[in-house]
Amino acid sequence: MASGAIPGGQPEEDHSNYGDMGKAKEFVKEHMGDKGKSLTEKEELLMLFSLHDSNKDGHLDGIELRAAFSDYKQGAPESAVSLETMMSMIDHVLDEDDTDNDGKISWEEYLISQKYHEG
């Protein structure tokens, strides 16, 4: 019996497309200080989203996604990624999460992707 097999053949991942969420949330809490401790899950995500939406247009574009990935790589030089890898990570995110295909991740798309990944 193939108990535990995942229908559809999608491998289960314990991290999201946007990097290590545990680390990312710590990052938010550090930025927020005491205030960060009382944030709901959704508020934490919104904080993360806002942090990376540097031009505050409500979308993460390719440049902002790249900056977001760079953030998570700080302090982990052994996982430093090449520009090529970075671009394919961004392509992957847009491919999977950009549901209206405008080339950017909206807050709604981001939220949906995080819910999906956290199961």
State the minimum distance, in angstroms, from the CB of residue 111 to Ca ion.
12
Quote the longest CA-to-CA distance of the chain.
52
Asked if 97 touches Ca ion (CB under 5 A), the answer is: no
Identity of the residue, 55 or 82, whose beta carbon is nearer to Ca ion in the bound complex: 55
CA nearest to 59, candidates 31, 99, 28, 19? 99
CA nearest to 15, candidates 98, 100, 101, 93? 93
Identity of the residue, 34 or 100, whose beta carbon is nearer to Ca ion in the bound complex: 100
State the minimum distance, in angstroms, from the CB of residue 86 to Ca ion.
17
Count Cβ atoms below 10 Å from residue 21 Cβ, excluding itself.
Answer: 18
State the minimum distance, in angstroms, from the CB of residue 103 to Ca ion.
7
Q: Which SS3 state, helix, strand or coil, does residue 110 take? A: helix
Which residues between 58 and 77 bind Ca ion (CB under 5 A)?
59
Asked if 91 touches Ca ion (CB under 5 A), the answer is: no
